[in-house]
Amino acid sequence: MRNPAEIDKLWRAATELWVLVVRTLLQTHGMLEMSVETMTFPLAEKCEQGDEGISFGRAYLALRRYKIDETGALDTVEFINVTSVDALAWPNKVHRGYPPTVNTQMDSTVKPVVQKLLAVNYTLLDVLRERLGLPKDALEQRHPLDEPTGSEARCIQSGPRPEGISEEKAAIGAHTDFGYLSLLHNRLGGLQPIPGHAICNLGDAMTIFSGGMLRSNLHHVVPPPKEQGKYERWSLVFFTRPGNSPLIAKAIARLFPGKYDTGQTSKEWFARGIKN
């Protein structure tokens, strides 16, 4: 049974702060250990499927591949992406292939984590949908489990920075996320962690879907503070993104004719974003 007082807190956070703190009870150790093993592979092996399925992103992204701010500074992280559709359909392939360290743990580790995070995200989305006064299926229509989406679990590795770094030179510069919600679990500082909880950022798709009533959260990633900067940081983030469908809810589109209509499906919008 849902707690009305907690729902009120969630709604205030979503409409005033655009970021939530969620208790998930998720065990992330297996996913992060799988990522540690994967990152030890030679670069060529990790990149073998790197550009496969580009319309929904890459399985592996290497260090210093993208510019992160207006100065041209390059990123300082690398990560492994596993789409939710690939995890749920395993051993069938929907989007792309993965390094063998990911494949061998897809059933035992990756799939259960994806299922748990989808359940948490869908619960949050349903509460927000209800508060927006939209029909029961308004969000479900945009991310059906049997339709390819950009939803994915991402394991991120950031190297030690014992010398520290200013927020102006963040590991990932100020940005908003593309999708509906992003759930972040983190082991070290620099990503606003709270033990036993995940940070949940609202994304651009939620802004469009809600006609601006909910706003995507501008945030950035800085290295761990002080003594923690001597260690590698491993994080797990799950991005819930819509399927290949129109982004805006029909009820919202009627309220704001043309204002929030991108004229693209979510797949087209996402593909454009990751290529820019």
Span 141-191, pLDDT tens digits: 666 666 677 788 999 887 776 565 555 555 556 678 888 899 988 766 555
| Predicted local confidence at residue 175, as pLDDT | 76
DSSP code, position 183: E
- In percent, how much of the chain has pLDDT > 70? 61
| Predicted local confidence at residue 19, as pLDDT | 78
Beta bridge partners of 219: 175
pTM here is 0.80
pLDDT band at 52 (very low <50, low <70, confident <90, very high): very low
- Cα gap 201→184, rounded to integer Å: 8
Q: Which residue has the tokens 């907690």?
A: 6
| Predicted local confidence at residue 8, as pLDDT | 92
Overall average pLDDT of the 83-99 stretch: 88
181-186 and 77-83 beta bridge pairing: unpaired
Q: In terms of pLDDT, which residue wins out, 121 or 244? A: 121
pLDDT band at 111 (very low <50, low <70, confident <90, very high): very high
| Predicted local confidence at residue 87, as pLDDT | 93
Tokens representing residue 256 in the block: 């704001």
Helix axes 111-131, 4-12, angle to 10 degrees: 90
Q: In terms of pLDDT, which residue wins out, 57 or 209? A: 209
Residue 215 has pLDDT above 70, yes or no: yes
| Predicted local confidence at residue 230, as pLDDT | 72
Give the CA dihedral 106, 109, 112, 115, nearest 10 degrees.
Answer: -60
Overall average pLDDT of the 22-32 stretch: 80
Residue 133 — left, alpha, or beta (φ > 0 → left; ψ -120 to 50 → alpha)?
left
- Cα gap 63→75, rounded to integer Å: 6
Convert the pLDDT of each residue in 219-258 to its tens digit: 766 666 667 667 777 889 999 887 766 555 555 555 566 6
Mean confidence (pLDDT) of the chain: 75
> Of the given ranges (9-23, 89-103, 209-223, 262-276), which has the lowest mean pLDDT?
262-276
Please answer whether residues 68 and 75 qualify as being in contact, where contact means their C-beta atoms are separated by less than 8 angstroms: yes
181-186 and 172-175 beta bridge pairing: unpaired
| Predicted local confidence at residue 193, as pLDDT | 57
- Cα gap 122→181, rounded to integer Å: 10
Overall average pLDDT of the 28-54 stretch: 73
Query: How many residues would you count in the chain?
Result: 276
Q: For 252-261, which contacts have Cβ atoms below 8 Å and span 24 or more sequence positions?
A: 252/134, 252/209, 252/210, 252/211, 253/211, 255/211, 256/211, 256/212, 259/211, 259/212, 260/207, 260/208, 260/211, 260/212
Please answer whether residues 143 and 62 qualify as being in contact, where contact means their C-beta atoms are separated by less than 8 angstroms: no
- Cα gap 34→203, rounded to integer Å: 27
pLDDT band at 97 (very low <50, low <70, confident <90, very high): confident
| Predicted local confidence at residue 5, as pLDDT | 92
- Cα gap 28→218, rounded to integer Å: 25
In 10 A of CB 182, how many CB atoms?
25
pLDDT band at 192 (very low <50, low <70, confident <90, very high): low
